[in-house]
């Protein structure tokens, strides 16, 4: 079974490494599509959920068109085991950090898939920051992987710190009854003592907690010049929803970081690759997100299922070659506006019916 996937993963790894710093081109698109279709056929053989999800497609899933591939909804990761990895070979599980009380999404991994994850995540980081001078300090508002073993985000942060060879990395976050909390006092003390630039990372709700606390205390916490901030979106009901622009403005004001050095990362436990916010042609920070050449976002109309025109809003569907051992085509519940070369998040699928009416799970089959 895995005898087919292992060499394919090697080819994906080669593609990632080769294209890390390359600009997108029609040739890269074509290579991506060819690999994606091959992966699709492989996954139909090895992942029962992908096989069943494509059973009623034209040509029974033997399509030669990426547009005919059935994307697996992220909600399916809560109910089913969306994986090619047999139970006995699984060594790690990443969970989504949804509302407590509901079963989270589960994305299963083993040594090989994690290696591919790490390759994709690190290449993505390098692509975004090709000329980064590694900062002295790495600080995360999230807990460490010891305290959050199922968080793909924390795993990625620890990967960055390791690959950047940053000797001093701090994970301040703690686990609370309602999820992660930020111990502001300790963060303030650590950062106030800094002389050299820091790469400060966290979820959007981490930053909201920190900024609200700082406002409450009436103080600022300026980071040393040359610092970077990466926020990974996601409020998940843990804090008030702050529009991206306002969040970045608050970070700029209270943490003294130039807007151009505040980056949004977009990823999820169901993926292995990440998208990052970009910079406009004249050097201004932009909310436009881009995936690297081994992943692609398609913005699809919820009505027709087809890709929307540029400028229109639709559901974000992601094709991620690094998801070799799970499902490479994922359907999210995020809404975005399609742009010339990327997409901009505008919200989430919204229920019209009253709250508190979650979908009953039929349970795994």
Partner 1 sequence: MHLPNLFLADLPPDAPMGPALVRDACLAVKRNRSHWLALRKTQELVELLAFNAERWLTPDFGFRQQALKQGPAETGFGAGTLARGLDAFFRAVTVESLNALLTQELGDARRLDEFSAPAGELRQGRMALARGPDLLVHVAAGNLPSSTLSSLLLGILTRSAQFVKLPRNGTVVPRLFAHSLADLEPKLGSCLELATWSGGTHDLEAALLSEADCVTVQGTDETVDSLRTRCPRTCRLLAYGHRLSFGFVSADQLSTYMARKVASRAAADITAWNQMGCLSPHVIYVEEHGATNPEGFADLLAQCLEEREQNEPRGEIPVETAAHLASRRSLHELRGARHAAAHSEAATMPRGAFFDAPLGGTRVWASTHSTAWTVVYESDPRFQTSCLNRFIYVKPCRDVADVLRQAEVVRGQVSTVGIATTESRLPELALQLAHWGVPRICPLGRMQEPPIGWRHDGRPALADLITWTDLETA
Whichever of 51 and 220 has its CB closer to partner 1, that residue is 51
Q: Please report whether residue 55 would count as binding partner 1 according to CB under 8 A.
A: yes
Dihedral sign of CA atoms 203, 204, 209, 215 in order: positive
179 three-class SS: strand
Q: Please report whether residue 56 would count as binding partner 1 according to CB under 8 A.
A: yes
Q: Please report whether residue 49 would count as binding partner 1 according to CB under 8 A.
A: yes
Least distance to partner 1, CB of residue 105, Å: 12
250-253-259-263 Cα dihedral, nearest 10 degrees? -50
Angle between helices 2-19 and 111-128 (to 10 degrees): 10
Total interface residues for partner 1 by CB under 8 A: 37
Q: Where in 310-339 is the site for partner 1 (CB under 8 A)?
A: 313-315, 331, 333, 335
Q: Please report whether residue 302 would count as binding partner 1 according to CB under 8 A.
A: yes
Least distance to partner 1, CB of residue 323, Å: 17
Least distance to partner 1, CB of residue 80, Å: 7
Whichever of 219 and 359 has its CB closer to partner 1, that residue is 359
Least distance to partner 1, CB of residue 107, Å: 16
**Sequential DSSP letters for 268-307:** -TT-S--EEEEE-TTS-EEEEEE--TTEEEEEE-TTT-SB
Strands (E) across the chain are located at: 72-73, 92-95, 106-109, 137-140, 168-171, 174-176, 179-181, 198-202, 228-231, 262-266, 275-279, 285-290, 295-300, 313-320, 329-339, 342-348
Least distance to partner 1, CB of residue 24, Å: 27
Interface pattern 234-263 for partner 1 (x via CB under 8 A): ------------------------------
Q: 36, 42, 69, 72: which one contacts partner 1 (CB under 8 A)? A: 72
Q: Which residues bind partner 1 (CB under 8 A)?
A: 48-49, 51-53, 55-56, 71-73, 75-76, 79-80, 302-305, 313-315, 331, 333, 335, 347-354, 357, 359-360, 362, 365
């Amino acid at each position: 079974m895995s005898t087919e996937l292992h060499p394919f993963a090697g080819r994906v790894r080669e593609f990632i490494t080769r294209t890390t710093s390359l600009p997108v081109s029609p040739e890269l698109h074509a290579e991506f599509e060819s690999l994606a279709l091959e992966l699709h056929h492989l996954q139909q053989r090895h992942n029962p959920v992908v096989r069943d999800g494509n059973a009623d497609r034209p040509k029974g899933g033997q399509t030669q068109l990426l547009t005919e591939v059935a994307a697996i909804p992220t909600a399916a990761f809560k109910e089913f085991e969306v994986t090619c990895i047999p139970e006995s070979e699984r060594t790690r599980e990443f969970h989504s950090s949804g509302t407590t009380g509901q079963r989270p999404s589960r994305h299963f991994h083993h040594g090989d898939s994690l290696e591919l994850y790490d390759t994709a995540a690190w290449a993505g980081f390098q692509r975004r920051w090709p000329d980064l001078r590694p900062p002295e300090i790495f600080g995360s508002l999230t807990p460490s992987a010891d305290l959050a073993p199922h968080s793909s985000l924390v795993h990625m942060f620890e990967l960055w710190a390791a690959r950047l060879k940053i000797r001093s990395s701090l994970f301040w976050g703690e686990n609370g009854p309602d999820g992660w909390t930020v111990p502001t006092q300790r963060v303030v003390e650590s950062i106030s003592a800094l002389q050299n630039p820091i790469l400060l990372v966290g979820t959007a709700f981490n930053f909201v907690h920190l900024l609200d606390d700082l406002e409450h205390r009436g103080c600022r916490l300026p980071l040393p010049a040359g610092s970077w901030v990466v926020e990974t979106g996601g409020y998940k009901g843990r804090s008030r929803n702050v529009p991206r622009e306002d969040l970045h403005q608050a970070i700029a004001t209270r943490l003294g970081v130039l807007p151009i050095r505040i980056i949004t990362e977009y990823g999820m436990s169901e993926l292995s690759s990440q998208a990052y916010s970009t910079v406009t042609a004249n050097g201004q920070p932009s909310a436009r997100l881009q995936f690297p050449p081994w992943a692609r976002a398609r913005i699809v109309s919820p009505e027709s299922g087809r890709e929307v025109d540029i400028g229109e809003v639709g559901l974000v569907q992601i094709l991620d070659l690094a998801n070799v051992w799970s499902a490479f085509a994922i359907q999210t519940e995020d809404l975005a506006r399609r742009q010339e070369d990327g997409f901009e998040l505008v919200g989430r699928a919204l229920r019209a019916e009253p709250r508190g009416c979650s979908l009953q799970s039929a349970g795994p089959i």
